[in-house]
Amino acid sequence: MRIGIDARELSGRATGVGRYLGGLLNEWARPGHEAGRHEFVLYAAAAIGAELDARRFGTRLIPGAPGTWWEQVRLPRAIPQDHLDVWFGPAYTAPLSLNLPTVVTIHDVSFAAHPEWFRLREGLRRRWLTQQSAQRARAVVTVSEFSKREIVEHLGIAAGKIHVIPQGIGSGDVGTWGRGDSSSPLVPSPLVPSPYRVLYVGSIFNRRHVTDLIRAFAPIARERGDASLDIVGDNRSYPREDIVGTIAREGLERQVRCHEYVSEGELRDLYARARAFAFLSEYEGLGMTPLEALAAGVPPVLLDTVVARESCREAAVFVPPNDLRAVTRALASLLFDEAVRARVLAAAPAALSTYSWPKAARETMAVLEHAGSG
């Protein structure tokens, strides 16, 4: 088969979806992998920021702003000449006018479950285009049982059409995806030397309560001058949250540092130096960065949600929503209480056993093969 893939998320700074696609491609490119019997064509609007084996992955650059117009108008004009058998959209949507089988991965439906978190036009566009793409697709892939239930409820997609395939942890070979980008600190002051580091990783959305994390960390920082917090992620909140202002108001400029983006190597170093991880998200499709933290031996503090329980099982300290004191206590326990740390990390292998790139690649390829041969 010839498999076409929307690879826009591999251009520039690879974040969640880019790392998801990168992990699959890493596996499909391995010598002797069963995917070797297929041909791949990757489509992007700009140069792909990853080293790809040209013998395995052909690349088509279709210049333009990589948004909805590019996907729905420019891309369909270029695809027919490549004689594809199936199309894979790893980022929620696919060109609606394609006259070939499609498979889309829908990671979450926050835009449908919580439209108040999105600007009006953006929310409408996301809901309509994702629903239409899912309805037209031969199959839908998602990353958790929670997301499957949400897709059924909010998009009206039949449960039998949805395949739950959890992704692997990390992005395959560290340093391959998103390479060449360096950290971009929003708060340039160097951190105090710290053996007690808390880490947050993920784009900053309102639902992830990063300002609450800063406020909850403040009592620890005031009591312990050797405690610090690193925040990694670009600020995509709406209404926009003043992260830098919150740090300043709490007087934490020397103990909290923000990075818009870090390379894979820098991220690996941050995980290695962290003693606790914090991710106070009230809605995720799965939430991979807490699992990455566990894989690096860093115990997480998580908001107590259905999907957080599904993903991390017992390998976390869970806190109720809207309780900053509980967050402070949880962070302190993971920073300073060896018994709590040991309990959480002992539960990590069972939680991590679900997440395997070889398994995710094999099962995703099976869905693509079935869709393309149907």
Please count the CA atoms within 13 angstroms of the CA of 64 that sit on its side-chain side. 15
pLDDT tens for each residue of 237-294: 999 999 999 999 999 999 999 998 888 889 999 999 999 999 999 999 999 999 999 9
In angstroms, rounded to a whole number, what is the distance separating the alpha carbons of residues 5 and 10? Answer: 11
Predicted confidence (pLDDT) at residue 191 exceeds the cutoff of 80: no
pLDDT given at position 171: 52
Predicted confidence (pLDDT) at residue 30 exceeds the cutoff of 50: yes
Mean pLDDT of 136-165: 98
In angstroms, rounded to a whole number, what is the distance separating the alpha carbons of residues 127 and 151? Answer: 11
In angstroms, rounded to a whole number, what is the distance separating the alpha carbons of residues 25 and 27? Answer: 5
The string of DSSP codes covering 27-88 is HHTSTT-GGGGSEEEEEESS-BSB---TTTEEEEE--S-SSHHIIIIIHHHHSGGG--SEEE
pLDDT given at position 23: 93
Contacts of 8 (CB under 8 A, 6+ apart): 43, 44, 45, 66, 70, 71, 91
Mean pLDDT of 346-367: 97
pLDDT given at position 186: 38
Mean pLDDT of 136-161: 98
**Per-residue tokens: 277:** 């991880």
Using alpha carbons, list the distances in angstroms from residue 68 to 35, 81, 89, 96. 29, 21, 13, 11
Pairing, β 102-105 against β 86-89: parallel
Name the H helices within 232-346: 243-249, 264-273, 289-295, 306-312, 324-336, 338-346
Between residues 189 and 240, which one has the greater pLDDT?
Answer: 240
Check: CB of residue 129 under 8 Å from CB of residue 93: yes
Predicted confidence (pLDDT) at residue 194 exceeds the cutoff of 90: no
Between residues 177 and 234, which one has the greater pLDDT?
Answer: 234
Predicted confidence (pLDDT) at residue 168 exceeds the cutoff of 50: yes
Predicted confidence (pLDDT) at residue 190 exceeds the cutoff of 70: no
pLDDT given at position 56: 80
Q: What band does 188 get if pLDDT is binned at 50, 70 and 90? A: very low
**Per-residue tokens: 222:** 């005031």
In the block, tokens 């962070």 appear at 331
| Domains defined for the chain, CATH in brackets | 2-168+356-373 (3.40.50.2000), 196-352 (3.40.50.2000)
pLDDT tens for each residue of 83-105: 999 999 999 999 999 999 999 99
Check: CB of residue 111 under 8 Å from CB of residue 93: no
Predicted confidence (pLDDT) at residue 179 exceeds the cutoff of 70: no
Mean pLDDT of 353-368: 97
Between residues 48 and 151, which one has the greater pLDDT?
Answer: 151
**Type of residue numbered 176:** T
In the block, tokens 């893939």 appear at 5
pLDDT given at position 54: 56
Percent of the chain with pLDDT over 90: 85
Most confident range (mean pLDDT) of 10-14, 169-173, 312-316 is: 312-316
